[in-house]
């Protein structure tokens, strides 16, 4: 139920080809098509809308405007001039300058070198056809009637651009140094954070799997805690730890936390559990015979580490690195809170769309952000497909031997990492309870009066719970059923391959990009699905789609453990497949189903990037409230709300644990019968 | 891109039609007014118009503006009540507003009314730029209080100053456009070049600089007076400074969205929005309102603020917005190394 599962699946369609389609086959294929259609509507169409939007440009079309000029006495000459012809002679504006954004305005007086607003000359201007648009002051003129204006009014005429298609958005983007710099910045922090996180997580996982230190269960729990909070929260914690009024700001020696330092520390915090899980899975399986061989060859511990341990875990390490890289480069919440002047791609999208209402440029940055995200994803998949089974039937599981010195060092190391994680969460809870940091340190619950702040109040918190429950319920049904169909249906090879591809795609699409793509697709009045825009439904659809891949892989892994003989047997017993599905498959896979549900719940509670463009005032969410309260400067209430999300997720986890235990006893007894 | 939605459309139209039968008139009103004030505004309006129900859709200025622009061809709102004047000018230039002269509009201060006849929008109140100055933190850093915008470029304030990014904040934009008007196009950019040397960082929202100053994260935040007064009331050690050259401002304003099917009710609401009693209601939060003579002083508001308001050219601000923001971005955004 986590990113670790991504690595462990290789898809091999079962090659049972039947001559004739049975009724079951038709139903299953129909079901598969329905779920594939869901993915097309919730993923492929929106992305297509976004790509087209990035090529949608705005140009001043000078041929659409005509002017007439009078003499000093106000007598118009019959000559009508097109602005295009005027510009041909004057070269007042270059072709490049004619491309602009949707909000572009072009003062018309640049085409009249002799223009003076004091002169008695009169001007007439009109649109050649219904497409042209210009402003007199702020009044929009769309008709083809002549507008007669004195020179003082004429200087207030602004031409408006018309929509066309082309590459000029991209040219504009790459020629704006501030925007271009963001690419470097994003890649820079992603690489540094990846290196630090993977090294820290490796030794943490190593300590837990390869030493005899104590409190392993405790440390494992602590390591998973960051997954339960939105990525904004470490940013807020860093403000209280290292900001101008931070409790331990001395540790930075005068450097500012607002910038790359803050983003990197926060990224290490929120990506740590992901890296830890993947590497831990890789380190958990190892063959003791290799280590025995190393000892008998008298290899030093150092050499053994580099020739046995690292190669054994290399796929885990590589996979962890790409997962972390992807998480950091696509994250939006953390740099928004702590990034200061350090611009990154994900925040640029937000600024373009929310700050400047420049949707086209938002789409362009999205396309730019997708490239490294898809690359990282693709490399990870290629590496994973090369992985071969490390454990064979003859393998001997490796059991660590106690070593008092190493065990103490590892305990101290894990203790420090644990302190970092607990410290970040603890300072948020502490700050949330302080009345007015730093001038009035008395305790108070004032920061929990969310209804008095921007962001949606307690309503946002309840919305979040509702959204997370719906996502868990609907998402689990859709995803598990989809995985079942693709895994257990026979024949229909091409269809299944396409379905697999669709199911993998969401993993590579950053949340911000998905959210923006949803605006373009669903907020189109031509689209009948427009009715879901601004409702809870679109938030649920977006979140299910955003977290589809990992859930799908978890389901596939569980289903692969079931022999396909079940289907053959039920077919020969003339039992409908859906009876088998409900009587056998679902009960056997219940632990995986519960894992998918809790994964979706937790992520729905913490997600910001996917829903930041989609919430409406009535469907604001807790994670969005954290963002907006921080944005308005209400940092302590933002911390308070962030911790509410944390406690809710812990509560959900506990419920999940109790359910899993109960379910395991009732449905999984067969597993331990031998 | 165009999908062919015709077929689906015919399927869903029927279900949409079935939902809009109401006894009274309901108005969908978009607003950026503070959440805590909305129920008060609606209650006051319903005292005289109990038959019109207001359904608020509230969000920050940027988001409401983006929402309105996104819905340009399919407007959902009937009325906009309480949105930045520059945003309404933007909507007007897209032809999205229904011109209407509300009864009694002639009583308002003319700088709060759209110049066209009939006006496309009418103003309610103004929010005014100001500098929030944390006396405790400034004392620790050994700063002397600034008295003018030009003072802020002094080397002693290096790294002690925060302002909102005009690309995302309406307050930030009104600062920038006021400097360009005060100091002229060239002088304005020169001023910002110098100011940029002292800025620690730019925030996304306009209220954050003042809240950060209130929390001691930074000694000086360029923000707006209303926010400063609120933080001061909450116990922050703040002085609210009105720079001597004059301060930029923007107004909250009201307009009818073109294409509304409830024009009559919308007009009643706009009529109400310019009355004396409505203006007295705005005065609870805002020191400057459109109706002359009703404003009473607001607690903790700095003296001389109203006199310092510059004669703001909103048309200049709206029509040059895209150009100014682009220039600002290429000069300051991302180029600055983090300090």
Gyration radius of chain A's alpha carbons? 30
B334 vs A439: CB contact, 8 Å cut-off? no
In this structure, are residues B183 and B251 in contact, taking their beta carbons and an 8 Å threshold? no
A354 vs B330: CB contact, 8 Å cut-off? no
Quick check: B113 pLDDT over 60? yes
Quick check: A16 pLDDT over 70? no
CA-nearest residue to B74 within chain A is: A525
**Which residues from chain A sit within 8 angstroms of residue B73, using beta carbons?**
525
- Alpha-carbon dihedral of residues A610, A614, A617, A622, nearest 10 degrees? -10
Q: What whole-number percentage of chain B has pLDDT above 70?
A: 91
Query: Which pLDDT band holds residue A2 (cuts at 50, 70, 90)?
Result: very low
Intrachain domains B20-126+250-300 and B128-249+309-332 with the same fold: yes
Task: Using CB atoms, pick whichever of B11, B322, B337 lies closest to residue A104.
Answer: B322
For the segment B18-43, the average pLDDT, to the nearest whole number, is 75
Q: Nearest-CA neighbor of A520 among A542, A499, A505?
A: A542
Task: Using CB atoms, pick whichever of A160, A351, A359 lies closest to residue B167.
Answer: A351
| Block residue for tokens 């470097």 | A184
pLDDT at res. A632:
86
For the segment B40-58, the average pLDDT, to the nearest whole number, is 90
Q: Which of B60, B319, B324 to mutate to test the interface with A (most CBs of A within 10 A)?
A: B319
Kindly report the number of other CB atoms within 10 A of residue A438's CB atom.
Answer: 18
For the segment B79-97, the average pLDDT, to the nearest whole number, is 91
* A57: closest CA of chain B, how far (Å): 12
Q: How far apart are CA A318 and CA A332, in angstroms?
A: 24
Name the DSSP class of A41.
I
pLDDT at res. A477:
95
Report chain A's mean pLDDT, rounded to a whole number: 88
pLDDT at res. A390:
61
pLDDT at res. A155:
87
Quick check: B14 pLDDT over 60? no
pLDDT at res. B3:
46
Q: Any bridge partners for residue B27, and if so which?
A: B54
Task: Using CB atoms, pick whichever of B2, B12, B209 lies closest to residue A528.
Answer: B12
Helices (H) and strands (E) in chain B, counts: 13, 11
Q: What whole-number percentage of chain A has pLDDT above 70?
A: 95
Q: How far apart are CA A509 and CA B41, in angstroms?
A: 43
Q: Which of A181, A633, A634 to mutate to test the interface with B (most CBs of B within 10 A)?
A: A633
What is the domain class of B20-126+250-300 according to CATH? alpha beta
pLDDT at res. A389:
61
Task: Using CB atoms, pick whichever of A179, A340, A632 lies closest to residue B207.
Answer: A632
Helix (H) or strand (E) run with residue A212 in it? none
For the segment A464-487, the average pLDDT, to the nearest whole number, is 94
Task: Using CB atoms, pick whichever of A245, A351, A527 lies closest to residue B215.
Answer: A245
A633 vs B329: CB contact, 8 Å cut-off? no
pLDDT at res. B164:
92
Quick check: B148 pLDDT over 80? yes
Q: What whole-number percentage of chain A has pLDDT above 90?
A: 45
Which two structure tokens, joined as six digits, stand for B303? 């003296």
* A633: closest CA of chain B, how far (Å): 4
A244 vs B216: CB contact, 8 Å cut-off? yes
Query: Which pLDDT band holds residue A104 (cuts at 50, 70, 90)?
Result: confident
Q: How far apart are CA A599 and CA A606, in angstroms?
A: 11
Quick check: A13 pLDDT over 80? no
Question: Which residue did the predictor score with more confidence, A183 or A534?
Answer: A183
**Which residues from chain A sit within 8 angstroms of residue B93, using beta carbons?**
135, 138-140, 160
**Which residues from chain A sit within 8 angstroms of residue B90, using beta carbons?**
103
B71-98: buried (b, 16+ CB within 10 Å) or exposed (e) per residue? Answer: beeebbbbbbbbbbbbbbbbbbbbbbbb
What is the Cα A312 distance to its own chain's centre?
31
Do the strands B249-257 and B97-98 form a parallel or antiparallel pair, or are they unpaired?
antiparallel
| Block residue for tokens 């203790």 | A415
Q: What whole-number percentage of chain B has pLDDT above 90?
A: 55
What's the topology of domain B128-249+309-332?
A: D-Maltodextrin-Binding Protein; domain 2 (3.40.190)
CA-nearest residue to B134 within chain A is: A439
B35 vs A454: CB contact, 8 Å cut-off? yes
Helices (H) and strands (E) in chain A, counts: 27, 13
Q: Nearest-CA neighbor of A358 among A54, A124, A591, A647?
A: A54
Instruction: Give the 3-state secondary structure percentages of chain B, helix then strand then coil, rounded to 5.
Output: 45, 20, 35
Q: Nearest-CA neighbor of B324 among A563, A103, A562, A623?
A: A103
**Which residues from chain B sit within 8 angstroms of residue A526, using beta carbons?**
2-3, 5, 9
Q: Which of A93, A178, A262, A353 to mutate to test the interface with B (most CBs of B within 10 A)?
A: A178
List, in order, residues 6 or more apart from A87 with CB less than 8 Å away.
Answer: A62, A93, A111
pLDDT at res. A555:
94
Lowest-confidence range among A63-67, A165-169, A663-667? A663-667
What is the Cα B272 distance to its own chain's centre?
21
Quick check: B2 pLDDT over 70? no
B338 vs A340: CB contact, 8 Å cut-off? yes
For the segment B294-322, the average pLDDT, to the nearest whole number, is 86
Query: Which pLDDT band holds residue A486 (cuts at 50, 70, 90)?
Result: confident
Quick check: A261 pLDDT over 60? yes
E-strand ranges in A56-165 read 56-59, 65-69, 81-82, 99-100, 106-107, 122-127, 134-136, 139-141, 147-150, 157-159, 162-165
Task: Using CB atoms, pick whichever of B36, B62, B90 lies closest to residue A452.
Answer: B36
CA-nearest residue to B96 within chain A is: A140
pLDDT at res. B337:
41
Q: Any bridge partners for residue A163, and if so which?
A: A58
**Which residues from chain A sit within 8 angstroms of residue B202, using beta carbons?**
341
pLDDT at res. A113:
87
Which two structure tokens, joined as six digits, stand for B245? 């050259």
What is the Cα A422 distance to its own chain's centre?
25
Query: Which pLDDT band holds residue A40 (cuts at 50, 70, 90)?
Result: very high
A633 vs B216: CB contact, 8 Å cut-off? no
B211 vs A179: CB contact, 8 Å cut-off? no
A633 vs B205: CB contact, 8 Å cut-off? yes
pLDDT tens digits, B166-220: 887 888 999 999 999 999 999 999 999 999 999 999 998 888 999 999 999 999 9
pLDDT at res. B108:
93
Which two structure tokens, joined as six digits, stand for B197? 């040397």
What domains does chain A contain, in order, with CATH numbers? 26-46+453-669 (1.10.3720.10), 58-164 (no CATH), 176-236+255-432 (1.10.3720.10)
* A496: closest CA of chain B, how far (Å): 26
What is the Cα A507 distance to its own chain's centre?
9
Q: How far apart are CA B334 and CA B329, in angstroms?
A: 8
State pTM to two decimals: 0.86
List, in order, residues 6 or more apart from B207 with CB less than 8 Å away.
Answer: A632, A633, B171, B223, B224, B227
pLDDT at res. B111:
84
Q: How far apart are CA A374 and CA A47, in angstroms?
A: 14
**Which residues from chain A sit within 8 angstroms of residue B208, using beta carbons?**
631-633
Residue A128: C-alpha distances to residues A98, A132, A160, A272 (Å) = 18, 7, 14, 61
Residue A96: C-alpha distances to residues A53, A59, A131, A464, B326 (Å) = 20, 9, 21, 46, 15
For the segment B66-89, the average pLDDT, to the nearest whole number, is 87
Residue B100: C-alpha distances to residues A324, B155, B162 (Å) = 56, 51, 40
List, in order, residues 6 or more apart from A298 with CB less than 8 Å away.
Answer: none
Task: Using CB atoms, pick whichever of A140, A519, A617 lies closest to residue B93.
Answer: A140
For the segment B6-24, the average pLDDT, to the nearest whole number, is 43
**Which residues from chain A sit within 8 angstroms of residue B185, using beta carbons?**
none
Do the strands B25-31 and B79-84 form a parallel or antiparallel pair, or are they unpaired?
parallel
A178 vs B330: CB contact, 8 Å cut-off? yes
Task: Using CB atoms, pick whichever of B57, B70, B215 lies closest to residue A437.
Answer: B215
Query: Which pLDDT band holds residue A541 (cuts at 50, 70, 90)?
Result: very high
Q: How many CB pairs under 8 A join A and B?
A: 176
Q: Which of B92, B136, B172, B215 to mutate to test the interface with A (most CBs of A within 10 A)?
A: B215
Question: Which residue did the predictor score with more confidence, A304 or A14?
Answer: A304
Helix (H) or strand (E) run with residue B256 in it? strand B249-257
- Note the ipTM here: 0.79
Domain chopping of chain B, boundaries: 20-126+250-300, 128-249+309-332
Q: How far apart are CA A32 and CA A26, in angstroms?
A: 10
CA-nearest residue to B91 within chain A is: A138
Q: How far apart are CA A152 and CA A236, in angstroms?
A: 53
* A419: closest CA of chain B, how far (Å): 25
Q: Nearest-CA neighbor of B201 among A616, A540, A342?
A: A342
For the segment A604-620, the average pLDDT, to the nearest whole number, is 89
pLDDT tens digits, A137-161: 888 888 889 999 998 889 889 999 8
**Which residues from chain A sit within 8 angstroms of residue B237, using beta carbons?**
439
Quick check: B10 pLDDT over 50? no
Q: Longest Cα pair distance anywhere in chain B, in angstroms?
A: 71
Q: How far apart are CA B58 and CA B55, in angstroms?
A: 10
Q: Which of B11, B58, B63 to mutate to test the interface with A (most CBs of A within 10 A)?
A: B63
Task: Using CB atoms, pick whichever of A105, A340, A440 lies closest to residue B322.
Answer: A105
CA-nearest residue to A246 within chain B is: B217
Query: Which pLDDT band holds residue A292 (cuts at 50, 70, 90)?
Result: confident
Quick check: A19 pLDDT over 60? no
Kindly report the number of other CB atoms within 10 A of residue A89's CB atom.
Answer: 9
Q: For residue A572, count CB atoms less than 10 angstroms from its CB and return exposed for 0-12, middle for 13-18, buried for 19 or more.
A: exposed
B70 vs A523: CB contact, 8 Å cut-off? yes
Q: Which of A528, A530, A616, A630 to mutate to test the interface with B (most CBs of B within 10 A)?
A: A528
List, in order, residues 6 or more apart from B57 with CB less than 8 Å away.
Answer: A616, A617, B28, B29, B30, B31, B64, B67, B76, B77
pLDDT at res. A288:
83
């Amino acid at each position: 139920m986590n990113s670790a599962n991504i690595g462990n699946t290789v898809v091999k369609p079962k090659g049972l080809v039947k001559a004739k389609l049975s009724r079951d086959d038709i139903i299953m294929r129909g079901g598969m098509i329905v779920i594939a259609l869901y993915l097309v509507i919730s993923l492929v169409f929106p992305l297509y809308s976004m790509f087209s939007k990035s090529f949608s440009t705005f140009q001043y079309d000078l041929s659409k405007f005509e002017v007439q000029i009078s003499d000093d006495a106000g007598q118009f000459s019959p000559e009508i001039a097109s602005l295009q012809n005027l510009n041909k002679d004057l070269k007042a504006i270059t072709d490049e300058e004619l491309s602009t954004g949707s909000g572009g305005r072009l003062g018309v007086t640049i085409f009249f070198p002799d223009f003076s607003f004091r002169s008695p000359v009169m001007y007439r201007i009109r649109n050649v056809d219904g497409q042209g648009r210009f402003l007199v002051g702020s009044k929009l003129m769309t008709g083809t009637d002549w507008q007669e204006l004195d020179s003082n009014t004429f200087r207030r005429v602004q031409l408006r651009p018309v929509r066309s298609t082309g590459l000029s958005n991209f040219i504009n983007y790459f020629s704006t140094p501030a925007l271009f710099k963001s690419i470097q910045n994003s890649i820079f922090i992603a690489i540094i954070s990846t290196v630090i996180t993977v090294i820290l997580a490796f030794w943490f996982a190593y300590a837990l799997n390869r030493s005899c230190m104590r409190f392993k269960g405790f440390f494992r729990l602590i390591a998973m805690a960051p997954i339960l909070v939105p990525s904004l929260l470490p940013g807020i914690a860093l403000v209280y730890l290292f900001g101008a009024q931070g409790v331990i700001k001395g540790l930075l020696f005068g450097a500012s936390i607002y910038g790359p330092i803050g983003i990197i520390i926060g990224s290490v915090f929120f990506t740590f559990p992901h890296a830890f899980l993947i590497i831990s899975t890789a380190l958990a399986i190892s063959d003791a015979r290799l280590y025995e061989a190393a000892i008998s060859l008298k290899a030093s511990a150092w050499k053994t580490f580099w020739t046995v341990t690292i190669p054994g875990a290399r796929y885990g390490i590589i996979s962890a690195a790409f997962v972390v890289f992807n998480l950091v480069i696509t994250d939006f919440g953390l740099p928004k809170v702590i990034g200061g002047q350090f611009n990154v791609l994900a925040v640029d999208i937000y600024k373009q769309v929310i700050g400047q209402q420049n949707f086209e440029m938002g789409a362009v940055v999205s396309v730019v952000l997708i490239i490294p995200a898809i690359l990282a994803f693709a490399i990870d998949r290629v590496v994973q497909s090369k992985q071969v089974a490390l454990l064979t039937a003859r393998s001997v599981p490796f059991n660590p031997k106690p070593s008092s010195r190493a065990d103490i060092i590892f305990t101290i190391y894990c203790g420090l990492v644990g302190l970092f994680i607990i410290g970040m969460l603890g300072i948020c809870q502490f700050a949330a309870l302080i009345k007015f940091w730093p001038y009035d340190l008395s305790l108070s619950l004032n920061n929990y009066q969310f209804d008095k702040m921007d962001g949606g109040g307690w309503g946002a918190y309840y919305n979040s719970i509702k959204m997370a429950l719906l996502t868990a319920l609907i998402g689990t049904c859709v995803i598990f059923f989809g995985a079942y169909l693709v895994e257990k249906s026979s024949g229909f090879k091409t269809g299944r391959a396409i379905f697999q591809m669709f199911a993998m795609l969401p993993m590579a699409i950053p949340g911000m990009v998905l959210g923006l793509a949803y605006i373009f697709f669903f907020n189109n009045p031509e689209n009948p699905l427009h009715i879901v825009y601004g409702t809870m439904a679109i938030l649920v659809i977006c979140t299910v789609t955003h977290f589809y891949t990992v859930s799908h892989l978890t389901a596939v892994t569980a289903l692969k453990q079931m022999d396909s003989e079940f289907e053959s047997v039920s077919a020969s017993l003339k039992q409908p497949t859906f009876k088998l599905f409900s009587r056998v498959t679902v009960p056997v896979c219940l632990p995986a189903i519960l894992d998918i549900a809790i994964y979706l719940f937790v992520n729905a509670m913490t997600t910001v990037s996917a829903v930041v463009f989609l919430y409406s005032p009535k469907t604001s969410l807790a994670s969005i409230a954290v963002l907006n309260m921080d944005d308005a400067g209400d940092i302590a209430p933002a911390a308070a709300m962030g911790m509410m999300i944390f406690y809710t997720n812990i509560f959900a986890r506990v419920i999940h644990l109790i359910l899993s235990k109960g379910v395991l006893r009732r449905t999984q007894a067969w597993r331990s019968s031998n | 891109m165009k999908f062919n939605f015709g077929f689906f459309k015919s399927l869903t139209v029927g279900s949409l039609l079935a939902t809009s039968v109401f006894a009274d008139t309901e108005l969908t009103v978009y607003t950026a007014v503070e959440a805590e004030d909305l129920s008060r505004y609606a209650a006051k309006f319903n005292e005289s118009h109990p038959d019109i129900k207001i359904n608020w859709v509230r969000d920050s200025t940027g988001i409401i503006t983006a929402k309105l622009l996104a819905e340009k061809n399919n407007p959902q709102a009937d009325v906009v009540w309480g949105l930045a004047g520059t945003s309404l000018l933007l909507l007007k230039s897209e032809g999205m507003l229904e011109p209407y002269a509300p009864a009694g509009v002639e009583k308002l201060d003319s700088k709060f009314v759209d110049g066209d006849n009939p006006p496309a929008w009418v103003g309610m109140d103004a929010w005014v730029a100001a500098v929030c100055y944390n006396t405790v933190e400034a004392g620790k850093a050994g700063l002397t209080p600034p008295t003018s915008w030009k003072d802020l470029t002094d080397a002693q304030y290096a790294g002690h100053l925060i302002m909102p990014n005009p690309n995302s904040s309406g307050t930030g934009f009104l600062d920038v456009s006021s400097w360009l008007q005060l100091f002229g196009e060239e002088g304005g950019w020169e001023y910002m070049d110098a100011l940029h040397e002292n800025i620690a960082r730019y925030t996304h929202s306009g209220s954050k600089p003042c809240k950060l100053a209130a929390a001691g994260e930074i000694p000086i935040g360029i923000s707006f007076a209303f926010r400063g007064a609120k933080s001061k009331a909450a116990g922050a050690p703040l002085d609210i400074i009105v720079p001597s050259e004059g301060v930029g401002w923007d107004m909250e304003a009201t307009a009818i969205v073109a294409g509304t099917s409830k024009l009559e009710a919308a007009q009643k609401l706009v009529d109400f929005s310019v009355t004396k009693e409505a203006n007295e209601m705005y005065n609870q939060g805002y020191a400057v309102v459109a109706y002359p003579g009703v404003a009473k002083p607001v607690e903790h508001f700095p003296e001389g603020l109203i006199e310092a308001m510059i004669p703001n050219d909103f048309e200049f601000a709206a029509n040059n917005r895209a150009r100014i923001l682009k220039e600002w971005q290429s000069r300051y955004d991302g180029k600055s190394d983090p300090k």
